[in-house]
Structure 1
Amino acid sequence: MALDLFAGIAVVDYAAALAWYERLLGSPPTYVVSDTEALWELAEHRSLVVEERPERAGRAFHTVFVDDFDERVAAMAARGIEPAERETYSNGVRKAIYRDPEGNEIGFGGPPVSG
């Protein structure tokens, strides 16, 4: 079975959100769908979408698991984006939680520290 994911984040201020997510993700969107919607393809058939939808803004929470956790978190910090929280679970899995200016949460999870 094929797996596609289309994770949406509703915002009030699309222009501000677009700039923030470009800094978080390190690139402009893969596709600008319209004047109020942009899409980043994180991996094949796995997308994160930011859309102006004021009535639903600020309630999203998504976590993306990555193999290059430390490098990704460091790159975000270099672009001026710091995690709001960090967690380490009992199995050693780590998570950095970011919140956009409207309160939407996007976390990045990574493998335990090896060694």
Structure 2
Amino acid sequence: MSEFLADGAELFAGICVRDYEQARPWYEALLGMPPTFLAHETEAVWEVAPHRWLVVEQRPERAGFATQTLFVADLDARVAAAAGRGIEPVDEEVYGEGVRKVIYRDPEGNEIGFGGNPSAAA
């Protein structure tokens, strides 16, 4: 077991935005849920898996440069669900062995990807 996990480490992956009021509903639609908690009036936190958190925070001086990827069990279902909430990907990449990454960009240009293994039916 990793030394970090043995110590009970939590991962907080940050995304900085200029306009928190615009960004928060976009991330709610992308992730399909409201934030797990609000750290303060300009910071929202989603628990995306045990001990793994996605943080959207208003920090204009750092906005628009994040790149985060979440690997999910059913990529096609995740993409379809986001589309049903009005969020469409901007690109898709395919790697060796059929691993895929579907890329989204928030209104400020931050890149959020959902990755997945090839489906059993493929």
TM > 0.5 fold call: yes
Larger helix share, 1 or 2:
2
> Which protein has the larger Cα radius of gyration, Structure 1 or Structure 2?
2
Unaligned 5+ segments in structure 1 are: none
2: CA distance, partners of 1:87 / 1:78: 21
2: CA distance, partners of 1:18 / 1:56: 17
1: CA distance, partners of 2:32 / 2:83: 11
After superposition, where does 1:34-45 map in structure 2 within 5 Å? 34-45=40-51
Match of 2:36 among 13, 30, 33: 30
Runs of 4+ in 1 over 3 A off after TM superposition: none
Unaligned 5+ segments in structure 2 are: none
Aligned partner of 1:89 in structure 2 is 95
Identity %: 63
The answer to whether residue 89 in structure 2 is matched with residue 70 in structure 1 is: no
The answer to whether residue 58 in structure 2 is matched with residue 58 in structure 1 is: no
| Code of the aligned partner of 2:88 | E
Aligned partner of 1:80 in structure 2 is 86
After superposition, the CA RMSD in angstroms is 0.9
With normalisation by structure 2, the TM-score equals 0.91
1: CA distance, partners of 2:35 / 2:12: 14
With normalisation by structure 1, the TM-score equals 0.96
